[in-house]
Amino acid sequence: MAKVPVGTPTSWSWTTISTNEIADGAVTAAKLASGAAISNIGYTPGASSDTAGLDDNYSFSRPSTAYKQDGTQVASGQPRYEAGRFAQALWAEEGRTNLIPSSYGLMTVDSNSDGVVDGFSKYQVNATSVYALDGGQKITLANVTNANGLSEVYLTTKFAVSPNTPYALSVDAALVRSGSEMIKLCISWYTSGGTLISQNYSPEINPGAVYSRQQLTATSPATAAQAIVELLIYAKAVGATGSVWFRHAMFEPDYATSFHESIRSPEVLTIPTGAFTKGNWNKEITFIPTSTQAVSGKTGYLWEIYIDANNCYACKVGPDGKPYLEVKSGGTTYQTSTATAPVLSVGSWYDIKLRGDGSKLAIAVNGTKVSEVSYSEPAGTLPANEYLGCDHNGANHANGLFDDARWSSRARTDAEWAAAYQSGAPLPRDEWTTWKASFDQRDIRMAGNLIASQITSMVATGTFEVGRVTADVNAKDYIVTGTGVSSASDSGAWCGYAVKADASVSGSAAQDIVRYENSNLRWGEIVARIRLKSSDASTANLGTVYLEYWNGSAWASIASKQIDGTLFDAANQYECFYVKGNYSTGTKMRVRIYWARATSTHVFYVDSITIVPVAATAAV
């Protein structure tokens, strides 16, 4: 079992304290001490507590309601979580308007109690069926006198359409059969004067006894100006008594998206670009399309960082439905080839991996590299956010569910890509991971003024972000030590603030300069992420970061990692430095930073400590 605090359960249920965002400080020690697990905790975007590289740190917007695949309505601004490849996935979909008027597409209201939902009328041939409202429009076949008998509901009011334009009709349908009954969807096209031009029917469908989404796509005739929709059940045999249920009908141009009774706003998912490392980067996305990808004239975006019109990064899905990686640098466009890329199909999961090392771009799908080309890194300052599932305007969505996603600070190899896909498991966090999202609402983010000492219990799954820095350095259990070393708080690239250790006195002995200590953290895998900056960043051994535990009488080592100055960037910064180890014993742990360059001035930043619990064989 997992190691858990003494006196608390060894199995956990995910009790939601809040289903949305919890503001800074709103999580109290009492709530944590109660043993309740916490799901979906966020923080106020733009506040000093924001963290740019934190797991599951993303912002989501949709100024309207939306509907999940099971028909459940989701409130404005709330993500839609669906079953994912591994656990949960998050939906990112374009905005759409249902052309069926007056919310009649809901098919859940029968104002005059005549058995037929508002906005629709009934029609029968060789049958006198029973119509009823039963969570949707229910039609039960009765008195069928001919195998060609049918019953239907059709929209009473015609609505406007454009000529020579593809349109999609989609609806939830469930069918309980007494024999071989089937359903069909139909679009009837009319002139502006109301004359019927033609009709398009779907093939016969058996949707099964549980609601499932069915659709028909057809192109309007050249003289079409109006349309109605028809939903039919076919008897297929004399005496058939099967029943069908219809609900949530949607009519829209081009291709089918998810249902909305009126207008669904676009869903926009953004990630802080602090997790992106120019010149050496890797993106891994797990994606399943929910709408047709091969659409004439359409280019969908799976990911984009937009600097300006001449400098940007993007993973796109072209009109042929195939994904490709594109980088624009100084106005020159570099694209990977789609010659061997698959067409992304609705209902199939795809593992899409992207990388750039400053000279080569590559893309892989399902563990196999599709294309690799030369490129130049874009110029200019990165924007505040990158976009997942759409472009920087919140448009041109790929339309689908995103599950496991991981950003890294180096271009991973073909072998790593293949191994990650073939493992069939969620992507692990490692020392190169700069951002990770499972979209499972189980990665826990602590608000800026929730101090580490408030943590009195730990769940068996998920991650804790503790040791966050506020304007008051001492509020975060940091100790800045050493001769000639001063402390302060400073704005950092990862958090709103970082603890700043400033050693500007030459000749100081090699010494500890920062410690972070905590006695409330439970056992598990410890990952310390820090941000370094130094004016002496050309030496391989600048010092060491130690993870240590208290064994009752002294500090003992968990793990350590040397600080290699040759890995610093041109600005003498190392944005993502990790050291990790298994904290499996002891009563408290600490992170200790030892600086070895006795004659060098330097500035050193610590932004956070991330705690990842791991499974063990015995309880505490």
pLDDT confidence bin for 396, thresholds 50/70/90? very high
Structure tokens at 552: 């009752």
Higher-confidence residue of 49 and 409: namely 409
Residue 255 pLDDT more than 50?
yes
pLDDT confidence bin for 432, thresholds 50/70/90? confident
pLDDT at 516: 66
Contact yes or no for 477/518 (Cβ under 8 A)? yes
- Residues 19-23: what's their mean pLDDT? 27
% the chain with pLDDT above 90: 56
Residue 572 pLDDT more than 90?
no
Question: How far, in Å, CA of 372 to CA of 278, rounded?
Answer: 18
Name every residue whose Cβ is closer than 8 Å to that of residue 227 and which is 6 or more positions away in sequence. Answer: 158, 159, 161, 167, 187, 188, 189, 190, 220, 251
Residue 187 pLDDT more than 60?
yes
Residue 282 pLDDT more than 70?
yes
Identify the H or E element spanning 416.
helix 414-422
Classified as helix, coil or strand, 600 is: coil
Question: How far, in Å, CA of 485 to CA of 593, rounded?
Answer: 13
The CA distances from residue 354 to 203, 405, 413, in Å, are 39, 11, 11
Three-class SS of 136-163: CEEEECCCCCCCCCEEEEEECCCEECCC
- Residues 276-303: what's their mean pLDDT? 96
pLDDT at 573: 61
Structure tokens at 502: 């400033």
pLDDT confidence bin for 358, thresholds 50/70/90? very high
Query: Which pLDDT tens digit goes with each residue over 436-456?
Result: 888 865 433 333 323 222 222
- Residues 552-561: what's their mean pLDDT? 86
pLDDT confidence bin for 487, thresholds 50/70/90? low
- Residues 351-360: what's their mean pLDDT? 97
pLDDT at 294: 96
Q: Which among 442, 466, 437 is positioned nearest to 454, based on CA atoms? A: 466
Question: How far, in Å, CA of 515 to CA of 593, rounded?
Answer: 6
pLDDT at 213: 96
pLDDT at 458: 27
Query: Other CB atoms closer than 10 Å to residue 107's CB: what's the count?
Result: 27
For residue 329, the cross-strand partners are 332
Query: Which pLDDT tens digit goes with each residue over 138-180?
Result: 999 999 999 999 999 999 999 999 999 999 999 999 999 999 9
Name every residue whose Cβ is closer than 8 Å to that of residue 433 and which is 6 or more positions away in sequence. Answer: 406, 407, 408, 409
- What rounded mean pLDDT belongs to the chain? 78
Query: Which pLDDT tens digit goes with each residue over 588-599?
Result: 777 787 877 665
189-202 residues labelled b (16+ CB within 10 A) or e (exposed) = bbeeeeeebeebeb
Question: Against a cut of 0.85, is the pTM above it?
Answer: no
Highest mean pLDDT among 2-6, 58-62, 131-135, 458-462: 131-135
Three-class SS of 247-281: EEEEEEECCCCCCCCCEECCCEEEEEHHHCCCCCE
Cβ neighbourhood burial of 111 (10 Å; 0-12, 13-18, 19+): exposed
For residue 172, the cross-strand partners are 213, 247
- Residues 187-209: what's their mean pLDDT? 97
What is the Cα gyration radius of the chain? 29
For 54, left (φ over 0), alpha (ψ -120 to 50), or beta?
beta
Identify the H or E element spanning 478.
strand 478-480
Question: How far, in Å, CA of 317 to CA of 183, rounded?
Answer: 33
pLDDT at 560: 85
Classified as helix, coil or strand, 371 is: strand
Residue 222 pLDDT more than 90?
yes
Q: Which among 572, 451, 573 is positioned nearest to 521, based on CA atoms? A: 451
Cβ neighbourhood burial of 334 (10 Å; 0-12, 13-18, 19+): middle
pLDDT confidence bin for 542, thresholds 50/70/90? confident
- Residues 40-69: what's their mean pLDDT? 58
The CA distances from residue 237 to 139, 181, 231, in Å, are 16, 8, 19
**Domains with residue ranges and CATH for the chain:** 1-51+440-620 (2.60.120.260), 57-94+267-438 (2.60.120.200), 101-263 (2.60.120.260)
Residue 65 pLDDT more than 60?
yes
Residue 288 pLDDT more than 70?
yes
pLDDT at 416: 94
Higher-confidence residue of 442 and 378: namely 378
For residue 201, the cross-strand partners are 186
The CA distances from residue 559 to 228, 529, 551, 590, 593, in Å, are 69, 13, 15, 11, 12
- Residues 101-128: what's their mean pLDDT? 96
Strands 443-444 and 463-466: parallel
